[in-house]
A and B are shown apart, each in its own frame.
Chain A
């Protein structure tokens, strides 16, 4: 039934697509967010620790964009775009029916929309969306995008979060994402038939709440740690680490230039390095 000749591919496979949407929210999107926030929280240990994690991610080299698109961007876009379709199909009524689960239904949709706008901006703000020179020069940098430099991880992230407005927007966006994931895991458990009885759903709701609060603490700590990082000290550590990587040949001069903060070399050499080294830098 319902599969008349005029029905589209999306209509005929509605069940499967909705289940994939539900799954994608947890794996890989939700799982990625947990790793992302935990990795960022490593800055609380030290900027060097965070830089080590970033180097580890970038050690994937040419495979990194493939992993990013396959496991992060495409599933995220799928989840987000289908999410908009789902939101448009419903009519929230938590004003008339003020039940907790109904308010959560409305919040799930609200937080989803906030999360989508936030993530689009966040990826632009930190990475600029595209890495071609023309785009970075004419679009990303003029609109305060592409602020993050992988080989000056903590210092560039700290600088990007310098303004309180930016930090507050990050807190709102990140907490929306965390709520959306925690509540989404709870509804997912009902959708797939994991927790069935009202008692089981209540227990699952408690566990999801604890998870959500925990992840929110991790996320807020990471944000706080990133914002309050000593950028000058971080830069020096990052520079030393970069020098060591260059010396060992693990990364090339080209990659170093591409993934370091603009003018980072000059600032660091001015602060700590010998003049002869500065010559090799400008020469290279």
Chain B
């Protein structure tokens, strides 16, 4: 208990959490007081909050819901808005956060995705975008195709950073051009109909930096580039690359430091040539 006092932190600190009980319901702020322990991250804060199940003024409350999985910043599940910026809870260290903003730690769910409960959001639009751009290399067949072509060292060095994307959604949450889409199921609408309607809406909305970067990754892959034209056509469909407004927040907030804006510019060049190809080569 003496080391954190030396750091200038008091024995406990306040966490302000934006809560929401169910999809579509209104959100509300709730304060929680957490005892300070050495080397805490926001995940351990959430564990203490859940264990205490009491707001700062002593009122018993339902434990705050949140998502997490790997605890080492490779899965993206615990992404939330911490002190106003989208990032992973597992690598958000409490002592650092209190140094930057001593009064309290502020937690909000991601702002661009529908809230399921408290800090848990539905990121299905993010994954749908990867399906839209065909973010894979199709190699399945009825016979052995043998080893694929070799990638040169330089190609590997360009591709590897792009392959580190963990689909956390920070780039989307920080993007001023990626706006929230939240649909509510109709009274007589079946779950399947609602899911289909949601998918259709997502398909004409902005893809986002992560999907653009994955397109560039698979279009530069020696086998993946067979489908390069198809993927570029998706980037040129409604809600494609053209929505990007070059605010470049994506690259600034990416926890994996993926050169997203370089990918966006490369996709810009590729689609420029694709446009010429469509007009003058067909």
Chain A 171-190 interface residues, beta-carbon cutoff 8 Å to B? 187, 190
Contact A11 B204 (CB under 8 A): yes
Contact A1 B203 (CB under 8 A): yes
Q: Smallest distance from the beta carbon of B6 to chain A beta carbons, Å?
A: 31
Contact A19 B275 (CB under 8 A): yes
Contact B176 A91 (CB under 8 A): yes
| A14, CB-defined interface residue at 8 Å | yes
A99/B176 contact (C-beta < 8 A), A2-B203, A18-B242, A19-B242 known: no
Can you name 8 A-B residue pairings with CB atoms under 8 Å? A4-B200, A14-B239, A15-B242, A99-B248, A187-B246, A190-B265, A193-B267, A196-B265
Contact B179 A15 (CB under 8 A): no
Contact B269 A193 (CB under 8 A): yes
| B185, CB-defined interface residue at 8 Å | no
Instruction: Annotate A179-217 by CB proximity to B: 1 below 8 A, 0 otherwise.
Output: 000000001001111111110010000000000000000
Contact A105 B262 (CB under 8 A): no
Residues of B within 8 A of A92 (CB): 176
Contact A1 B249 (CB under 8 A): no
Q: Smallest distance from the beta carbon of B113 to chain A beta carbons, Å?
A: 14
Contact A101 B247 (CB under 8 A): yes
Residues of B within 8 A of A11 (CB): 204, 238
Q: Compute how far the CA of A89 lies from the CA of B246 in the bound complex, rounded to whole angstroms.
A: 14
Contact B269 A192 (CB under 8 A): yes
| A248, CB-defined interface residue at 8 Å | no
Q: Compute how far the CA of A2 lies from the CA of B132 in the bound complex, rounded to whole angstroms.
A: 10
Instruction: Annotate B230-245 by CB proximity to A: 1 below 8 A, 0 otherwise.
Output: 0000101111111111
Chain B 238-272 interface residues, beta-carbon cutoff 8 Å to A? 238-249, 252-253, 259, 261-262, 264-272
| B69, CB-defined interface residue at 8 Å | no
Contact A15 B272 (CB under 8 A): no
Q: Compute how far the CA of A211 lies from the CA of B120 in the bound complex, rounded to whole angstroms.
A: 47
Q: Which residue of the partner chain A has the closest CB to B174?
A: A97
Instruction: Annotate B78-99 by CB proximity to A: 1 below 8 A, 0 otherwise.
Output: 0000001100000000000000
Residues of B within 8 A of A132 (CB): none
| A165, CB-defined interface residue at 8 Å | no
B259 touches which of A7, A108, A198 (Cβ 8 Å): A198
| A90, CB-defined interface residue at 8 Å | yes
Chain B 174-219 interface residues, beta-carbon cutoff 8 Å to A? 174, 176-177, 179, 200, 203-204
A101/B238 contact (C-beta < 8 A), A91-B176, A192-B269 known: no
Q: Smallest distance from the beta carbon of A23 to chain B beta carbons, Å?
A: 11
Residues of B within 8 A of A19 (CB): 242, 275
Residues of B within 8 A of A7 (CB): 204, 238
Q: Smallest distance from the beta carbon of B162 to chain A beta carbons, Å?
A: 14
A102/B249 contact (C-beta < 8 A), A190-B264, A190-B265, A197-B262 known: yes
Q: Compute how far the CA of A19 lies from the CA of B241 in the bound complex, rounded to whole angstroms.
A: 11
Q: Smallest distance from the beta carbon of B249 to chain A beta carbons, Å?
A: 5
Contact B265 A193 (CB under 8 A): yes
A96/B84 contact (C-beta < 8 A), A15-B237, A190-B264 known: yes
Contact A191 B246 (CB under 8 A): yes
Residues of B within 8 A of A104 (CB): 247
A93/B174 contact (C-beta < 8 A), A3-B238, A7-B238, A193-B272 known: yes
Contact B236 A15 (CB under 8 A): yes
Contact A2 B268 (CB under 8 A): no
Q: Smallest distance from the beta carbon of B240 to chain A beta carbons, Å?
A: 6
Q: Which residue of the partner chain A has the closest CB to B242?
A: A18
Q: Smallest distance from the beta carbon of B230 to chain A beta carbons, Å?
A: 11
Contact B246 A96 (CB under 8 A): no
| A281, CB-defined interface residue at 8 Å | no
Residues of B within 8 A of A3 (CB): 237-238
Residues of B within 8 A of A12 (CB): 238
Contacts beyond the supplied A1-B204, A90-B177: 16 A-B pairs with Cβ under 8 Å: A2-B238, A11-B238, A14-B240, A14-B242, A15-B271, A89-B243, A90-B179, A102-B176, A105-B245, A105-B248, A108-B245, A190-B246, A190-B264, A191-B268, A193-B265, A196-B269
